[in-house]
Structure 1
Amino acid sequence: MTALQTGEVAGGTDDRGIPVEFAGDRRIRARNKVYYRVVHWPIWIWVFFILPGPLTFDLFESGFDGRMAAWLGVVLLGTGIAGLRGRLPGVEARPYIIRFTEDRPNPLYRRVCYTFAWSAVVTFAVLHIAGLAWAIATGDWLMRQIYEAGYFPIAATIWILGAMGRLPRVKASTKGEGHERRFFYGSLWAVCLAQPTLWLLWAVLPPGRPGDIVKLAVFMALLAFVGYLSYRGRLPRTRPIVPGELAISD
């Protein structure tokens, strides 16, 4: 008797009805194309450029200035060198992850990059929620003070978790990559939609408690909605990847 050994997986979905991909069915790419490597570079430029959170706050509040130009130059140089050496995820000459369920050591550069990416994803969202909640509760707009007081404690907590290997895609082994990447991309899609929407609302809504309530409600709703779509595997790169190997049993 022949059976598809996929744990709880049957018919391309798991026991929750979430679509899955079989690792054995995925096309193996021997090399990354040049355009693929080039388009991944700006992602890491942005991740490291917004690393100093209070400076990023000044960018959106007051515009680009000499401090940001100097920091951008450092980031361009650092990520450019790392990219040329194949030490940025997605910018490697050859993909490091071949089989998403394979137990391989997770290189240091991947662990560092994804730690800072998680920091960018989580920290800014938490600060914006806190700032809006405070403004609604007290009527005081203290976003700058909240950034100055809260950014580095929150970010440092995430950096420590990354150093300990406690974050998805930052663990010592790549064995769980088939599931861990869906948590990362789900979070990424959520903030990439919610944050620009929040910036737009800041531009078009008048200041005051009613506007802040709308901003917070829309922001939280988008995070929850996109998070749910990601959980259900409806967004790019959010489907679980499982072994899906054929086995013979008698």
Structure 2
Amino acid sequence: MPNSSVAVRFEYASERTIRKRNKLHYRFAHWPIWIVVFYLAPGPFTFDLFAHGVHPYMAAWLGLVIIATGMAGLFGKLPGVEPKPYIIRFTEDRSNPLYRRTCYTLAWSELVTYAALNIAGLIGAIATGQWRLQQIYSYAYFPIAATFWVLGALGKLPRVKPSTAGEGHERRYFYGTVWACVVAQPILGLLWWWLPRGRIFDILRLCGFGGVLAFMGALAVRGHLPRTRPILPGELAVSD
């Protein structure tokens, strides 16, 4: 990338294929993503789901989320589920609609909060020899998540700003975070099941989790992961 000390893969907007409409399979492929995002929103209850299995209230919540997101998608009010791409020109100062700002705010809050609390739980287990992750989620999830909700409402998060003018760079921050978290979280889950209990193994879990986050983050910074290349000003491009 020009004027950068790190070798970054980038794209010119004028070189990207223009998509006039979103195909039906493309729209359906994005719908489950937002089902997951909204389903995971009540963090402490989600923790209980992973710890103890499905409860009737979480099953009811899933049904409500499926219905609500399905209706939103039907009317083109979910990112990626619109009949046609909303953003065509990456440098265009276009209003960022409320549904996009809401969805991406919620996604940001979950990506960061879940990762931060899992790291806090690991550090606490290493320091004290006891796991208190459920208590950490109960007391800390909503204060941290609510901080991101406020930042989103103020338009201070990437992809959540009032204008889409910075989309060419903002989307790479978002997808870089997505890639890092969606790879690191399952690996942490596997390490939880595979490794025995004990402080030394908790240290290994923390190193593994943090190492994957850092590795995926480094790949994203260099533009080696899908949708993490900066898109430089040009003519037309399509954003998802």
Q: Which range, TM-score by smaller chain?
A: over 0.9
Contact 1:41 1:79 in 2 (8 A): yes
Tell me, what secondary structure is at the counterpart of 1:141? coil
Given the alignment of the two structures, is residue 124 of structure 1 paired with residue 110 of structure 2, yes or no?
Answer: no
Counterpart of 1:104 in structure 2 is 94
What is the alpha-carbon distance in structure 2 between the residues aligned to residue 231 and residue 150 of structure 1?
A: 29
Given the alignment of the two structures, is residue 83 of structure 1 paired with residue 73 of structure 2, yes or no?
Answer: yes
Q: RMSD across aligned C-alpha pairs, in angstroms?
A: 1.2
CA offset at residue 16 of structure 1?
3.6
Counterpart of 2:174 in structure 1 is 184
Tell me, what secondary structure is at the counterpart of 1:224? helix
Tell me, what secondary structure is at the counterpart of 1:17? coil
Gaps in structure 1 of 5+ consecutive residues: 1-7, 246-250
Counterpart of 2:2 in structure 1 is 9
Gaps in structure 2 of 5+ consecutive residues: 236-240
Counterpart of 1:149 in structure 2 is 139
More moved, 204-213 vs 35-44? 204-213
Tell me, what secondary structure is at the counterpart of 2:164? coil
What is the number of residues matched between the two proteins?
235
What is the alpha-carbon distance in structure 2 between the residues aligned to residue 198 and residue 181 of structure 1?
A: 26
Q: Which amino acid aligns with 1:168?
A: P
CA offset at residue 17 of structure 1?
2.6
Identify which of 12, 31, 35 aligns with 1:45.
35
CA offset at residue 15 of structure 1?
5.9
CA offset at residue 244 of structure 1?
3.8
Given the alignment of the two structures, is residue 211 of structure 1 paired with residue 201 of structure 2, yes or no?
Answer: yes
Contact 1:185 1:238 in 2 (8 A): yes
CA offset at residue 101 of structure 1?
2.1
Q: Which amino acid aligns with 1:133?
A: I
Query: Residue deviations 1:184-203, cap 9 Å, x none?
Result: 00000000110000000111
Contact 1:106 1:173 in 2 (8 A): yes
Tell me, what secondary structure is at the counterpart of 1:145? helix
Q: Which amino acid aligns with 2:126?
A: I
Query: Residue deviations 1:200-230, cap 9 Å, x none?
Result: 0111111111111111000000000100000
Q: Which amino acid aligns with 1:188?
A: V
Tell me, what secondary structure is at the counterpart of 1:123? helix
What is the alpha-carbon distance in structure 1 between the residues aligned to residue 190 and residue 138 of structure 2?
A: 23
Counterpart of 2:123 in structure 1 is 133
CA offset at residue 67 of structure 1?
1.0
Q: Which has the larger radius of gyration?
A: 1
Counterpart of 1:227 in structure 2 is 217
Contact 1:23 1:101 in 2 (8 A): no
